[in-house]
């Protein structure tokens, strides 16, 4: 965690109210980042299946949060605010991504190809991941959100339900259906999960 540098004291050696407010804002911002940055990333990732794009969106979302804090505008629920901003940014990215890449999906540009020779097991795993990524692309964004929160952040269903504002039963059902669908499609492609 980045330590907040102490505010510079004024000419009389005392920290004025402006400095104290700035320090407080920074501390609040860092705490929100520590608590919610991975969740924001997870939702952005679920939309685009691209880790770097999700990081860019996460950065932008927190930059906007900082501007809100600097402007002194109150945010009643920072978590919900961040997730909403992240979803909007992810949709905005769709327009700019089309202009940049045409009809190519971003993940096609995000190949993991390496010119170095890889061990056989790693090659097999990469191939399985490529297949899995393609199958995940066929799911809805909502299903991918649940999967990302569950398997990337290891959230349990209650936490996922609270974050997505749905009930735990719905989370269970969607998780179960998504897993079953993935298993069927991977099997249809002749892909066996590599341990």
Chain centroid to CA 11: 44
**Comparison of 15 and 66: residue with beta carbon closer to other proteins:** 66
CB neighbours of residue 8 within 10 Å: 8
Among 47, 87, 148, 161, binds other proteins (CB under 8 A): 148
Report the helix count and the strand count for the chain, using DSSP H and E.
8, 0
Interaction of residue 123 with other proteins, rule CB under 8 A:
no
**Nearest distance from C-beta of residue 184 to other proteins, angstroms:** 10
Q: Which stretch binds other proteins (CB under 8 A): 11-19, 55-63, 73-81, 113-121?
A: 55-63
Going by C-beta distance under 8 Å and a sequence separation of 6 or more, which residues neighbour residue 176?
Answer: none
Between CA 14 and CA 128 the distance in angstroms is 61
Give the whole-angstrom CA distance, residue 9 versus residue 92: 42
Residues 152-181 that bind other proteins (CB under 8 A): 152-153, 156-157, 168-169, 172, 175-176, 179
Report how far residue 150's alpha carbon sits from residue 178's, in angstroms, rounded to the nearest whole number.
12
Query: Contact positions toward other proteins, by CB under 8 A?
Result: 1-2, 26, 29-30, 33-34, 37-38, 41, 45, 51-52, 55-56, 59-60, 62-63, 66-67, 70, 96, 99-100, 125, 128-129, 132-133, 147-148, 150-153, 156-157, 168-169, 172, 175-176, 179, 182-183, 186, 192-195
């Amino acid at each position: 965690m980045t330590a907040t540098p102490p505010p510079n004291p004024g000419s009389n050696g005392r920290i004025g109210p402006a400095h104290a407010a700035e320090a407080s804002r920074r501390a609040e911002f860092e705490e929100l980042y520590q608590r919610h940055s991975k969740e924001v990333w997870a939702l952005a990732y679920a939309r685009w299946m691209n880790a770097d794009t999700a990081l860019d969106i996460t950065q932008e979302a927190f930059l906007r949060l900082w501007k809100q804090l600097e402007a002194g505008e109150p945010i009643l629920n920072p978590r919900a605010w961040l997730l909403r901003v992240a979803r909007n940014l992810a949709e905005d990215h769709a327009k700019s991504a089309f202009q940049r890449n045409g009809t190519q999906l971003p993940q096609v540009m995000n190949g993991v190809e390496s010119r170095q020779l890889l061990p056989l097991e790693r090659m097999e795993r990469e191939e399985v991941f490529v297949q899995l990524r393609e199958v995940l692309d066929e799911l809805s964004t909502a299903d991918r959100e649940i999967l990302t929160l569950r398997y990337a952040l290891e959230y349990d269903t209650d936490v996922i339900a609270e974050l997505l504002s749905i009930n735990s039963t719905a989370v269970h059902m969607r998780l179960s259906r998504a897993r079953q669908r993935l298993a069927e499609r991977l099997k249809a492609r002749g892909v066996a999960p590599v341990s």
